Structure 1
Amino acid sequence: MLLPLPPLAGLQETIRFLLPRIAEVTGAEDVIICLNAPNTAGRYTVGYRAGKFYDPHAFQYTRSGLVFIPLKMGDWLALYEMKKPFDQRVLEQYCSQALENAAKYESVQQQAMVDVLTGLPNRAALYRKLQEEVKRLCRFCVLFVDLNGFKQINDTYGHLMGDDVLKKAAEEIRSVLRASDFLARYGGDEFVAVLSETTSEKGELVASRIRSMAVKVEDISVSVSVGLAVYPEDGLTPKDLIGRADGRMYMDKEKNRGVTG
């Protein structure tokens, strides 16, 4: 007997709820959820066997008794060596509903973490990232980036041009960072980058590269100011690190640009 579906949750949490129940109902030795298609490394593919979750890609299955049950959205449920009779249609509908609900919820959650204009993560996503980095207890750098004279662009050319400058700035800053680095729009014309497992020396090198660039849209060219903070030397909390990087950004603005707007 399948239990009522859990409240809306992320895909991983929902899958971890489903697999033990499916194993109990079917008596299968192995239960695998494969998102997108069978035999592919789905983003949330998880296996369950004898009370434990595992990575099914680490194993090769040559045993008989394999059943692939297609679910909605191109997902699959794989069962190995079932020992109990079960209704495949009921199982398909049950799993599809749970995964669809979780995917919709996760999509809404992700949208709430994205800046609509630039497509970058927003401030809420930034603080979540910083909390994750602090928990890892590894050195990392925070770069606070501000566009010099941005208010004048809005006042002179209008907010639509200002929006174009912000989107271009996001692209330019992202191009300087590694694929593993995190970039968010903090608010207004401010951006924050998180450089995982990075020393202060390497962080300053990245900051220098960002300072040297110019954001160009049509005949407008905008320079930037950057402040650097390093965990744990400059702070042990996200708030402290942001505050220190922000303060150093203003020092950089005064020292190297002489621009306060």
Structure 2
Amino acid sequence: MGLLDQIDKNKLPRHIAVIMDGNGRWAKEKGKLRVFGHQNGVLAVRDTVEGAVEAGIEFLTLYAFSTENWNRPKLEVMALMELLVATINKETKTLMDNDVRLNAIGDLSQLPDRCYKQLQEAINKTANNKRCTLTLALSYSSRWEIVEAAKKLGRQIQEGRLNPDDINDQVFSGALCTADMPDPELMIRTSGEHRISNYLLWQLAYAELYFTQKLWPDFRREDLFEAILDFQKRERRFGMTSEQIK
């Protein structure tokens, strides 16, 4: 029996978030430039997305480029942006074939014009797909997102459209980039690092965290299935006792 067949379709996480880490180290181990790792990381993205569709995952969010990544060497950033455009152009057909809707969160205004245009075209083209929503976190950081949400709510208060006493978890969540999707129940990070790295800090409050030693370019759908199976073995109590859950 394969790993996919072992997954209980009645206990699936609706939303899986992934920190794709290890491209640079993977390339270094092979004596290549870091961009070589990013290029091979695209294969992992394709296989993971297709695996998520096979498993029945409704939402998949990938941490593709953080606000801090803009501080990397200029040549690497330029190569990443070019790779992003090429990947979007190449993979849109795969998204259409798998009925996957593309979405993006983050400070997208910081993207180069060409990248932004290609991204929006792919988002528009896949807008009616319904099987899975693939969200790319681009020029994203959770602290940036939370600050922007606070500004948004502050403006609503200033304009008299919101009473401060009415702000609760739901209202604040509605001001975030992820307002239209459920919070992730499972967060996967590759490369053996045990950090959240400024990623979906609000949304991951009750997520199960799964860390694997595999570097991102080596990650495949079977690794995703293993993470889902691990998730299904865990008891999620949300502050309650085991007896209450049972």
- TM-score (norm: length of structure 1): 0.23
| More strand per residue | 1
What TM-score comes out, normalization by structure 2 length? 0.24
In terms of fraction of residues, the more helix-rich structure is 2
Higher RCO (CA 8 Å, separation ≥ 6 residues): 2
